Structure 1
Amino acid sequence: MSAVAAAARTAAPESTGEPAVLLGVDVVETARLARAVERGGEAFARHVATEAERGLTSEAAAFSVKECLIKAVGGRAPGFGWHDFEAVGGAPAAWAGRLLDEAAAELAASTGVALDGGAAYALHGASRAAALERLRPPQDAAVTGAARWGSGGGLFVALAIVYVDRKEGARCPG
């Protein structure tokens, strides 16, 4: 078992036997990603990123991170849209941030790419429903995400987690 898997077991709040963290990774050649962004131009940017998140991440980061989030929730659910995931201000829950940092360090060590970019992510629509199905959070929990990314050595590397963020009095919106 990797250190990240072990940390996921110990970091998850009030384990119920169901997975508490979903993880996705995307490693792509920087040139290939740059060609896709350039070829798609403004239409690509609008398709992948919401208006609100365009200032928070680059188009390349938005695409790669959302690929990670898609993997984390189990694929593109019926009704999927790229705007199902939206970069938002703020930080992940402290325990999830520690887990993400540890996983990012392991991924950086194996790829040689420092994952120095990051953002928290809100989940919406079909992808949120898929995450809820996989995580099965208690009624007072919210499902959210966070990501780290970086580029170097011809690679763009991204890592994302989707997790149950249990907060006092919080409810999962329906």
Structure 2
Amino acid sequence: MKLPAVLLGVDIVAADRLATAARRGGETFDRVMGGGGPTFSVKESFIKAVGGRPPGFSWHDFQETGERPAGWAGRLLDEAAAELIASTGLDLPGRAVFTVSGASEKAALVRLPPHAGRVTGAARWGHGSGLFVSLAIVYVRRKGTQ
């Protein structure tokens, strides 16, 4: 069985840079990002995966579902995370599935081959040594598959 195409994004950012952005953005940053630094880094990795911030972009284009990546997408994410862990020396214990919607979903569909299904994202992330590190994949989740 041929696996569908996947878009990949990585974000590595200094924690002090995020702290500065949070101070500058205040309540707006907290309201939009929710989880602060890790959330910002994860969403940045999704932005990189879909090819940037398309016209009409919103930070709400990527929302965590509470599910854990499973099936082929989970295995692919774990393999890619192992490479990132080896190169940064940081563990990536955070993991979740995300919806991809709005302008970011449209941008992803331009870069993914045509498939019937829902554009979905999965991410792993972690922090340490003054860094936030995240890895995201975007793919089409076909009905009845992981």
TM > 0.5 = yes
Q: Taking CA–CA contacts closer than 8 Å with sequence separation of 6 or more, which of the two structures ends up with the larger relative contact order? A: 2
Give the superposed CA RMSD.
1.7
1:153 aligns with 2:138: no
Which of 92, 117, 131 is matched with 2:108 structurally?
A: 131
- The question of whether the paired residues in 2 share the 8 Å contact of 1:104 and 1:115 is answered with yes
- The question of whether the paired residues in 1 share the 8 Å contact of 2:50 and 2:104 is answered with yes
Where in structure 1 do 4 or more consecutive aligned residues deviate above 3 Å?
none
Query: Separation in 2 of the partners of 1:138 and 1:21?
Result: 12
Q: Output the TM-score relative to the length of structure 2.
A: 0.90
Query: Separation in 1 of the partners of 2:10 and 2:77?
Result: 12
The structure whose Rg is larger is 1
The count of corresponding residues between Structure 1 and Structure 2 is 145
- For structure 1, the 5+ residue unaligned runs are 1-12, 170-174
Query: Separation in 2 of the partners of 1:106 and 1:149?
Result: 13
Counterparts in 2 of 1:3-152, with a 5 A limit?
14-15=2-3, 20-47=5-32, 49=33, 54=34, 58-139=35-116, 141-152=117-128
Cα distance, 1:94 vs structure 2: 1.0
1:162 aligned counterpart, secondary structure = strand
Identity among equivalent pairs (%):
63
